[in-house]
Every structure is written in structure tokens, then in C-alpha cells.
Amino acid sequence: MIDKHTMQVVDGSSATFTDRTIVGVLTGVVNASGGAGVAITTAVTFSEPLPPVYAVFVTPSQFAWASVAAKTSAGFNVVLTPIAANSIAAGTFDVLVVA
């Protein structure tokens, strides 16, 4: 691991903290499959509480819309919605949390 001690925040950004940045990464989060046109919801949690305000970025491993719902300090839900009348296959997605 390489320690990084300098961070630049883009002007106009809203930082949750002024003394640190919190980053959480989960790769290969497993999602269930669903029928044609059916959205799939997966609960995501971390081993530590999340801060009161944070952003979530989701990268699905399939052709689907990804959204985040029900954010709390315990975690959140990732909702994968198929494009058109396609189905969500059993698969994975990656999550990046930034605060």
C-alpha cells in the first residue's frame, strides 16, 4: 500500500468532511436474477457504519440501469433495472462509496 497525503478537491464540490475523505469499495457484490422487465434489489452493507452523507457509484456487470435507494449508516439498496424488456441475470456489480 502507498500512503497518499495530498488530496485536491474541485472548487464547488461539497465535501462531507474537511479533514479526510472516506472511501469504501466492494467488488463482485452478487445480485439475483429476475424476469423480463423486473427490477432486482440487493442490500449492500459494510463492516463499519457509513457517515451521515455519502455518494454511491455502482457499476453493474450487465446491461442494466443501476440506482441506489434507502441510504442509511448501515448500508443501502442497489436496484438493477433491465433495459427495455430484458431480464436481469444472476451476476455481480461493483460499488464505490465516497464521503
Answer yes or no: are the C-beta atoms of 80 and 40 closer than 8 Å. Answer: yes
Given this model, what pLDDT does residue 84 score? 83
Q: What is the pTM of this model?
A: 0.85
Contact 47, 25 (CB under 8 A): no
Rounded to whole angstroms, the Cα distance separating 29 from 16 reads 26
Average pLDDT over residues 1-14: 68
Q: What is the CATH number of domain 23-98?
A: 2.60.40.2080
What's the pLDDT score for residue 3? Answer: 65
Q: How would residue 60 be classed by pLDDT, with cut points 50, 70 and 90?
A: very high
pLDDT digits (tens, 9 = 90+) for 13-48: 776 667 778 899 999 999 999 999 999 999 999 999
What would the DSSP string read from start to end of 30-62? EE----TT--EEEEEE-SSPPPSS-EEEEEESS
Closest CA to 61 of 91, 95, 33, 25: 91
